[in-house]
A and B are shown apart, each in its own frame.
Chain A
Amino acid sequence: MSKKLNRYYEKGIRYLLAFTAGTSIMILFLIFFFLFREGAGVFSYVNPIDFILGKEWSPVSEPPVFGALPLIAGSLVVTFGAGIIAIPVGIGIAVFLAEMAPRSVREVSKAIIELLAGVPSVVYGFIGLTVMAPMIKDLFNLPSALSAFTASIVLAVMALPTVVSISEDALNAVPRDFREASLALGATKWETTLRVVLPSARSGLIAASMLGLGRAIGETMAVLMVAGNATLIPHSIFDPVRTITADIAAEMGETVQGGLHYQALFGLGMVLFTITFIINLITDLVFAKTSSIKRGASL
């Protein structure tokens, strides 16, 4: 190849790669565009405020009623429940692995946690349905096995690997000097962990929690299978609920393309997209330190 041709070749490749990089922006834009294009029609039937705050979701009644509050409440309840369990336990495990576990235990545990992260959500749903739900029902003497409570526990198990691995990264990022200085002053290892290491890793730990919550709120199959699927606003954690994600998955098959119900489900998609977008934004604000690379890889 002549030198000139070579230079064009190099330039061509550069542009090709830049174009490739641009596809991510394009995909995000397209997701936004299609949710809006397919879903906007429902807002001429109900206004957006009533859509979000309406207390009744009866898409097949005559006339249909689209009030997404029961679904939004369902999503928030199970996500909150999962967070209460997964965040402290996950951070606890991360501290154990980063601060006290011997190397061999750490490596094995990390591999197991990674495998745990790889189990598909439909399998968690299946296990939840066939194993955990009956157990939870007996254990707590509940009227029905499938409830927000059961879903929270299944979701917590699913969110745990995310919380653990990002928390551990945050703990490992705390400089060794901090620990050594504290130990040299006579603090025990536990005191050092509690008063020095954890506060230093705070922003990373918050981010780990937020990403865990983000994972839980977007989860579909497991909650569809174990949350009980009642489109009612829950009064207690032991009521059956249906989440936004589960509703889309459950009802999309029955809809007519372009029909009101179809549009309403894309409307739900917009609500969900917005919620996860906000979670992402909050994470960004507290998480500026840790790179975007880690975050992409974690999800």
Chain B
Amino acid sequence: MISRRVKERIGFGSLAFCTILAIIPLIGIIGFLVWKGAPALTWEFLTQPPRKFLTEGGIFPAIVGTLGLTLGTIVVALPLGIGTAIYLVEYSKKSLFTTMVRIAIVNLAGVPSVVYGLFGMGLFVLTLNLGRSLVAGALTLGFLTLPVIISTAEEALLAVPDDYRNASLALGATRWQTIRRVILPAAFPSILTGTILGIGRAAGETAPIMFTAAAIYIPSLPRTVFDQVMALPYHLYAVATQIPNVPEHKAFGSAIVLVAIVSGLNLIAVIIRTKMRLKNMR
């Protein structure tokens, strides 16, 4: 019989192996992307519009489109998300209404992104007649991101100690004054972290913008928010599967830029959070 100690070694050893196994792909993926795509990453590639149906030129309009959609997502989701979280944490007692809100949030979080795309197309593109446009895409992505932002904002508000609230109220401040001057500033870094993580997710989404905002080939930049735009995720999908004769390194280059934007956002969030943790430990 194997001794218990050996069993323990084997057990924990195989788990460590599992973990390494999961981390290798990330390093492999990033390494491979960089290796294949680095030749494409020139100044021209990043700052020039595409030519000859994506086979030449750069991806500048796609970068602009993705940044525009991301900004729009923030404009839609942030006020709604924080407002909802404030209401749930600071105002409401457990009521039928808040129970319904919570059920709705949990279910919204589970709705697949392609269904958000169908919904955005039905409501914004067709019914509200916005057409395929930056604004329709931003609204769709904003709604998609809402559950993440609500949840993280809620968590951030709950983490503010009750003493803060009581002290402020005892000094004669009203509820809203307390929220605006005491609670929101205290919770702000955590809310920021959650928001950036949510936005990072939205920036990389493809399915929701396929039917609501994105086009394969528009060399000119959008002039208004009602214009259709190129966007990096959809661009990557198109050059990888839809358009023949696109040089391989251009596809890899687009993938690098997309991963860099999204990971850059995530990294900022992780850094803010780590700093906060360290500060709290002191």
A, B assembled together = yes
Q: Residue A202 at the B interface, CB < 8 A?
A: no
Question: In the complex the two chains form, is B119's CB within 8 Å of A96's CB?
Answer: no
Task: Return the chain B residue nearest A28 by Cβ.
Answer: B104
Task: Return the chain A residue nearest B82 by Cβ.
Answer: A20
Question: In the complex the two chains form, is A28's CB within 8 Å of B123's CB?
Answer: no
The stretch that binds B, out of A63-71, A136-144, A213-221, A234-242, is: A213-221
Please, which residues of chain B bring their CB within 8 A of the CB of A284? 106
Which one, A120, A224, A277, contacts B205 given CB within 8 A? A120
Please, which residues of chain B bring their CB within 8 A of the CB of A164? 22
Using known A-B contacts A109-B19, A119-B262, A120-B205, determine if residue A114 contacts B270 with beta carbons closer than 8 Å: yes
Q: Residue B164 at the A interface, CB < 8 A?
A: no
A31 to B237, CA, bound (A): 26
Question: In the complex the two chains form, is B259's CB within 8 Å of A272's CB?
Answer: no
Which one, B26, B203, B255, contacts A115 given CB within 8 A? B26
Question: In the complex the two chains form, is A296's CB within 8 Å of B240's CB?
Answer: no
Please, which residues of chain B bring their CB within 8 A of the CB of A9? 176
Secondary structure of the B side of the interface? helix
A273 to B116, CA, bound (A): 10
Please, which residues of chain B bring their CB within 8 A of the CB of A296? 105-106, 109, 147-148, 150-151
A27 to B97, CA, bound (A): 15
Using known A-B contacts A20-B83, A296-B106, determine if residue A114 contacts B174 with beta carbons closer than 8 Å: no
Please, which residues of chain A bring their CB within 8 A of the CB of B80? 20, 23
Please, which residues of chain A bring their CB within 8 A of the CB of B251? 126, 130
Q: Residue B188 at the A interface, CB < 8 A?
A: no
The stretch that binds B, out of A40-48, A49-57, A173-181, A245-253, is: A245-253
Please, which residues of chain B bring their CB within 8 A of the CB of A113? 22-23
- What count of chain A residues pass the 8 Å CB interface test? 91
Interface residues of B in 167-183 (CB under 8 A from A): 174-176
Q: Residue B211 at the A interface, CB < 8 A?
A: yes
Q: Provide the B70-90 mask, 1 if CB < 8 A to any CB of A, else 0.
A: 000000000110011011100
Q: Residue B141 at the A interface, CB < 8 A?
A: no
Question: In the complex the two chains form, is B114's CB within 8 Å of A245's CB?
Answer: yes
Q: Give the shortest distance, in Å, between B249 (CB) and chain A (any CB).
A: 12
Q: Residue A232 at the B interface, CB < 8 A?
A: no
Question: In the complex the two chains form, is A35's CB within 8 Å of B204's CB?
Answer: no
Q: Residue A93 at the B interface, CB < 8 A?
A: yes
Please, which residues of chain B bring their CB within 8 A of the CB of A60? none
Q: Provide the B104-133 mask, 1 if CB < 8 A to any CB of A, else 0.
A: 111111111111111101110011000000
Q: Residue B16 at the A interface, CB < 8 A?
A: yes
13 contacts between A and B (CB under 8 A): A14-B176, A24-B105, A25-B104, A120-B233, A122-B206, A122-B258, A126-B237, A221-B206, A221-B207, A277-B110, A292-B102, A297-B155, A299-B148
For the complex of A and B, list the 5 residue pairs with the smallest distance between their C-beta atoms, beginning with the closest.
A120-B204, A218-B112, A296-B151, A20-B83, A190-B8
